[in-house]
Amino acid sequence: MYNKYLERLTKTCITMLVCFSVFLANAAEQSGSWWSPGDDRVFPRFSEYQNASGRFGIINTAGPIDTSKHPFFAAKGPNGRACVTCHQPSDAMSLSVSTIQQRWRDTKGTDPLFAAIDGSNCPSLPQGKPESHSLLLEKGLIRIAMPWPPRPFNGKPIDPEFSIEVVRDPTGCNLDPEWGIDSPSSAISVFRRPRPVINIAHLMELPHGVPPFNNFFFNDAMPLPKGPDTGLTVPQQLMADGRGLTPKYQATDAALTHLQLFDALSDNDLEEIEAFERQIYGAQSFDNLAGDLTSPESPPGLGPQALVISPKARLGNNPLNKIFGEFSMWASTADESQEVQQDKVKAFKASVARGSEIFREVRFYISDVGMYNDKGLGNPFKRSCGSGCHNTLSMGMDLSPGFMDLGLNNFPWQNRRSDLPLFKITCRDDVQPQSFLGREIYTHDPGRALITGKCTDVGATMTQQLRGLAARAPYFAGGAAANLRELVDFYDRRFNIGYTEQEKADLVNFMRTL
């Protein structure tokens, strides 16, 4: 009797202990996933963060950092934000919409992330109401106020080749008397996803092996610009519209706008921010089906270590590199239906291997892409995802570098969005028109044209690295694809590719492991 009682008590204690441990683990996970500015935490040499597909891993090559006073992590401006607010380690140093929604729930919309300036659809809207923050909450979009006409960059004045008219303004911000195009500060509000601040060392390397375009911009065959802070030629890969040429320049711009800092960051702060950004490398490190992506049996291009060892800014669309390296160790010739029944893991790995091959080998007509087909490649240009626009070894962005209008912003290809502003661009008669849309263009975001003032640049944005995709949905600069399947569907429709259901699934599986 006593023994039975003791046995039951022991079982109860063990159960309670297990439950408590799980609770503690969950609590640690919850508090560990969101980094608030000024958290007294250490950014370790290696860290992993949970996402729906597995875990995202970050290697910090300089070793542990005390973040309590680090300028990337410490609140600098009056709105309480830091760089980390929009570049969360758990989200591949970007910000997923699921994280944003969780943060809204956790703080009832009071987190600095939701600051009126750009965390709401427009600062003039009543703050704290979900509908005033709908673009951030539903699509993960931050408001970017671009000066109009464009401010000179590189010391050269800009004479815009087009006029811009606000056709529809669902946020109210483009016609707002204080914030809009006719306001004293005359700005165009566009809404974009925060780009991942990871693997920046790759993005800041000038292209190799493509002479003379290691130093020249492919589109106009003129030298690539020089960083205003360094005087050195820079590759323009950093930002969607190329306005921030170096990490320091980007940080300065972000501090003055998103952080609402009155004065520029100190040189010391900028040094620390740039050093941090250049020393962190990230990729999905664990997949719920495939397991440890960093094991010796996994494809060498998976996991964050691949980014550390991989040569930077090299063309990867060749028989050796295959963009993301060899995947054949996961390939399987077994009958697929049998695999699914016998071994889900094996079937998933085989799907990933097939996806990598589809990514780099299945060609389709890339046509009518402004700033791409018209830079000399021809229209159409028959390439695959990997041999076309995502050709850079281990990173998958466009090495050239690739500002282009895939139809993600401009009509008629864009999913018509009722939540985004719509602009009508009218190009002057004496300038070269946008190659495929002409002189009258409807767009949700004029993109690069808001920097250069050129008609040919309307709607063009920089291709994105493909790392950490599982951690940072939604995709595309305007958040148009809620998940990887929607991303594949967009391309399938845009370029009339005709992927089979299996091919789409394989591509999705491949991309989620990156």
Q: How far is the CB of 431 from other proteins (least distance, A)?
A: 10
Structure tokens belonging to residue 411: 């009509």
Nearer to other proteins, 106 or 361 (CB): 361
The stretches of 258-361 forming alpha helices (DSSP H) are 267-279, 305-309, 336-342, 344-361
By the rule CB under 8 A, 284 interacts with other proteins? no
Site string for other proteins, 182-211 (x = CB under 8 A): --------------------------xxxx
Q: Which stretch binds other proteins (CB under 8 A): 74-82, 219-227, 340-348, 351-359?
A: 219-227
Dist CA 48 CA 304 (whole Å): 10
Stretch that binds other proteins, among 108-116, 121-129, 145-153, 297-305 (CB under 8 A): 297-305
Write the CA distances from 11 to 1, 6, 24, 194, integer angstroms. Answer: 15, 9, 20, 49
Nearest-approach distance from CB 292 to other proteins, in angstroms: 15
Q: Which of 169, 241, 374, 503 binds other proteins (CB under 8 A)?
A: 374
Which of 46, 153, 411, 436 touches other proteins by CB under 8 A?
A: 436
* List 100, 306, 473, 497, residue binding other proteins (CB under 8 A): 306
164 contacts 425 by C-beta, under 8 angstroms: yes
Cα(203)–Cα(293) distance, integer angstroms: 23
3-state secondary structure of 406: coil
3-state secondary structure of 164: strand
- Of 60, 373, 410, 452, the one binding other proteins by CB under 8 A: 373
> Distance of alpha carbon 159 from its chain centroid, rounded?
30
Identity (one letter) of the amino acid at 503?
E
Residues 10-19: contacts with CB under 8 Å, at least 24 apart = none
The reply on whether position 464 binds other proteins by CB under 8 A is no
Max Cα-Cα span within the chain: 99
Q: Which is nearer to other proteins, 1 or 320 (CB)?
A: 320
CB atoms within 10 A of CB 69: 10
State the Cα–Cα distance between residues 146 and 158, nearest whole angstrom: 14
Please select the residue that binds other proteins; options are 346, 363, 424, 428, rule is CB under 8 A. Answer: 363
Instruction: Assess 335 for contact with other proteins (CB under 8 A).
Output: no
In the complex, minimum distance from the CB of residue 505 to other proteins, in angstroms, rounded to a whole number: 21
Question: What is the H or E stretch that residue 139 is in?
Answer: helix 134-139
496 binds other proteins (CB under 8 A): no
Minimum CB distance to other proteins, residue 353 (Å):
12
216 makes contact with other proteins (CB under 8 A): yes
By CB under 8 A, name the binding residues for other proteins.
Answer: 208-214, 216, 220-223, 299-301, 306, 309-311, 314-315, 317-322, 325-326, 329, 361, 363, 365, 367-368, 373-383, 393-394, 432-433, 435-436, 438
